[in-house]
Amino acid sequence: MHISGKFIVIEGLEGAGKSSAVAILTQSIQAAGHIVINTREPGGTAMAEAIRDVVKHDWHDEKVTVEAELLLMYAARAQLVQNVILPNLEKGHWVLGDRHDMSSQAYQGGGRQIDQSMIENLRAITLKDFRPDFTLYMDVEPKEGLKRAKGRGELDRIEQEDVSFFERTRERYLLLAQQDKNCVVINTMQSIKAVHNDVELAINQFLES
Ligand code: T5A
């Protein structure tokens, strides 16, 4: 398999501003002459979107186990990577992912405190050695991110977790970002304009590299 496109991922807690960053990145990459395929996780294929509905749904008195949540995230990822991401990268298109594997490492590993080795095993089965070429991690303080997310509408099952869950998730994100030489951290605790400037700067540096 020959991969000639690039896989760019945007990560962060709820309310970090991923949606508007995706729009900026899409424009910049297109302006550089590439075809951009946008994906989101969980989701991005018919089956993976059905899984997204299941994981975001509140099942009332049926507890969603941390194991079921983890397995569903990887089931959706397997569908997306094999059916959409890899075929497009092979065609030379660029794929821009709104979340990818770092979300599982941070939310299920950090937030849900699932053992790292269990996640590593699933990652090896699902992704083998496939990794993003570039990741932008949008960093936000959980309280501020949740306030922004609330302002946008109803909170889903995961968004209803208490703030300590998001603090553990953020802490893991920051650690992962620090360990990943292909990851840039964007501080989103500043004006939207300043955040957008930082996003543009980061993608332009990657495009010129
Ligand atoms: N999940 C996902 C896992 O647990 N494991 C996994 O492996 C994966 C893949 C997915 C959920 O699943 C979990 C994580 C999530 O809980 P989602 O809808 O994809 O759900 O993700 P969300 O984070 O919920 O998406 P959001 O839409 O909430 O986040 P965004 O896209 O970062 O937020 P955005 O851009 O819509 O911004 C929210 C609001 O804040 C404002 C925006 O205008 C908007 O109104 N805003 C700012 N306001 C002030 N200052 C700034 N700098 C601002 N930036 C944005």
Q: Mean pLDDT across the stretch 65-94?
A: 97
Q: What spacing in Å lies between the alpha carbon of 12 and ligand 1's midpoint?
A: 7
Q: What spacing in Å lies between the alpha carbon of 1 and ligand 1's midpoint?
A: 33
Q: How many domains does the chain have?
A: 1
Dist CA 120 CA 127 (whole Å): 10
pLDDT surpassing 90 at residue 93: yes
**Is 2 among the domain residues?**
no
pLDDT surpassing 80 at residue 1: no
Q: What spacing in Å lies between the alpha carbon of 149 and ligand 1's midpoint?
A: 7
Dist CA 26 CA 20 (whole Å): 10
| 50-74 residues labelled b (16+ CB within 10 A) or e (exposed) | ebbebbeeeeeeeeeeeeebbebbb
Task: Render pLDDT for 127-178 as a digit per residue (tens, 0 to 9).
Answer: 999 999 999 999 999 999 999 888 888 888 888 889 999 999 999 999 999 9
Pocket test for ligand 1, best of 148, 157, 186 (most atoms within 8 A of CB): 148
**Is 162 among the domain residues?**
yes
Pocket (CB within 6 angstroms of ligand 1) = 12, 14-20, 40-42, 73, 99, 103-104, 107-108, 148-149, 151-152, 158-159, 188, 192, 195
Q: Report the CATH number that the domain containing residue 195 is assigned in CATH.
A: 3.40.50.300
Q: Which domain holds residue 65?
A: 7-208
**Is 1 among the domain residues?**
no
Q: What spacing in Å lies between the alpha carbon of 204 and ligand 1's midpoint?
A: 23
**Is 23 among the domain residues?**
yes
Which atom of ligand 1 is closest in space to residue 189's alpha carbon? Answer: 52
Q: Mean pLDDT across the stretch 100-129?
A: 96
pLDDT surpassing 90 at residue 58: no
Question: Mean pLDDT lowest for which of 30-44, 110-124, 150-164?
Answer: 150-164
Cβ-in-10-Å burial (0-12, 13-18, 19+) of 151 comes to exposed
Q: What spacing in Å lies between the alpha carbon of 2 and ligand 1's midpoint?
A: 33
Which atom of ligand 1 is closest in space to residue 55's alpha carbon? Answer: 12
- Kindly indicate the confidence band of residue 4, based on its pLDDT and cuts at 50, 70 and 90: confident
The string of DSSP letters for 82-114 reads: IIIIHHHHHTT-EEEEES-HHHIIIIIIIIS--
pTM of the predicted model as reported, rounded to 2 decimal places = 0.94
If you average pLDDT over every residue of the chain, what do you get? 95
Q: What spacing in Å lies between the alpha carbon of 129 and ligand 1's midpoint?
A: 27
Higher pLDDT, 101 or 59: 101
pLDDT surpassing 90 at residue 27: yes
Q: For position 179, what pLDDT does the model report?
A: 97
Q: For position 157, what pLDDT does the model report?
A: 86
